Amino acid sequence: MCGRFVSSSPPDEIARYFDAQLSTERALEPSWNVAPTDDIYVVLSDGGVRRMDPHHWGLVPFWAKSPAIGAKMINARAEGLIDKNAYRHAFRKRRAIVPADGFYEWQNVPGQKAKQPYFIRRTDGEPLAFAGLWEQWRGSGSDRGQGLRSATILTTAPNETMAEIHDRMPVILPPSAWDEWLDPANADLERLGRLLVPAPPEVLTLHPVSTDVGNVRNQGAHLIDPVVAAEGVIGNG
């Protein structure tokens, strides 16, 4: 899964990297500890133009009675999207990219209750392009007309790098797949599904970080600094 990530780069730099127009409605603060239900940047295609806008992290399907459901839908398994009512409509028409500077994952430590967190990033230092889905919720009952744009991050089986610490990882799209994935007119779901695979192991590097990241209130670049791992866990720097 992907339950925490880093989005600390300047928004204009992120938008430029993804060749997207940056929304002028509001800018998000840099975060080294993005948590579920936070607002996140999402890249999507609108009328043939890429846009980067803030979205609520946690997909709220258009048919939902309450946006609270989004807290349980920060991730979606890439396997069988078309068969799941919560995701099938977005998979057909509302695919997105969630930019990230890196993400965190936790590994069990033999003989210890506490888990060891790791920071995972691209080996080349470039931003990550998580495959995602987005939705527009227009409210129901007394909330009708309020509107909420939300997104989820797709996950898949781990590659060799990630398998040492977790059994899932975010789908990371290479630049060559961005146009195909974002095109809302692309109806070849079988071909799109073939994009949702683990990234090559050499794409990612990871290192252990402070347990401070476990508290969503903690912020700052120190959260991604390497630390000495607890005995019995791995770290490749």
2 is a catalytic site residue: yes
- Are the beta carbons of 25 and 117 closer than 8 angstroms? no
Asked whether residue 117 is domain-assigned, the answer is no
Residue 118 has, within 13 A of its CA and on its CB side, a CA count of 26
Evaluate whether residue 21 is within a structural domain: yes
Characterize the bridge pairing of strands 102-107 and 169-170.
unpaired
215 part of a folded domain: no
> The domain that contains 23 carries what CATH number?
3.90.1680.10
Give me the DSSP letters along 10-66: -HHHHHHHTT-EEPSS--PPPEEEE-TTSEEEEEEEETTEEEEEEEEES---TT-S-
145-175 pLDDT, tens digit per residue, is 467 999 999 999 999 999 999 999 999 999 9
Per-residue confidence (pLDDT) for residue 170, from 0 to 100: 98
Per annotation, catalytic residue among 25, 29, 79, 105: 105
Confidence at 113, pLDDT banded by 50, 70, 90: confident
Residue 236 has a pLDDT of: 44
Place 115 in a pLDDT band, splitting at 50, 70 and 90: very high
Domain presence at residue 185: yes
| CA-wise closest residue to 90 among 156, 44, 123 | 44
192: DSSP letter: H
Arithmetic mean of pLDDT, 35-54: 95
pLDDT band at 26 (very low <50, low <70, confident <90, very high): confident
What are the tens digits of pLDDT across the range 172-215? Answer: 999 999 999 999 999 999 999 999 999 999 999 999 999 999 99
| Average pLDDT taken over every residue of the chain | 92
Range of the domain at 148: 5-102+123-202
Contact 11, 39 (CB under 8 A): no
Q: What is the pTM of this model?
A: 0.93
Identify whether 126 is a catalytic site residue.
no
Residue 226 lies in a domain: no
Tens digit of each residue's pLDDT (9 = 90 or more) over 72-90? 999 999 998 999 999 999 9
Residue 109 within any structural domain of the chain: no
Residue 225 lies in a domain: no
Residue closest to 18 by CA, chosen among 138, 147, 127, 151: 127
Overall domain count for the chain: 1
**pLDDT for the residue 141:** 54
Proportion of the chain above pLDDT 70, given as a percent:
93
**Measured distance CA(205)–CA(126) in Å, rounded:** 12
Q: Report pLDDT for 55.
A: 96
Give the position of tokens 């709220």: 60
Residues 72 and 31: their CA atoms lie apart, in Å, by: 21
Q: Between β-strands 128-137 and 95-100, what pairing exists: parallel, antiparallel or unpaired?
A: antiparallel
Per-residue model confidence (pLDDT) at position 177: 98
Contacting residues for 218 by C-beta, under 8 A, at least 6 apart? 33, 212
pLDDT at 114: 87
Q: Among 10-14, 17-21, 187-191, 233-237, which stretch is predicted with the lowest mean pLDDT? A: 233-237
Residue 161 domain flag: yes
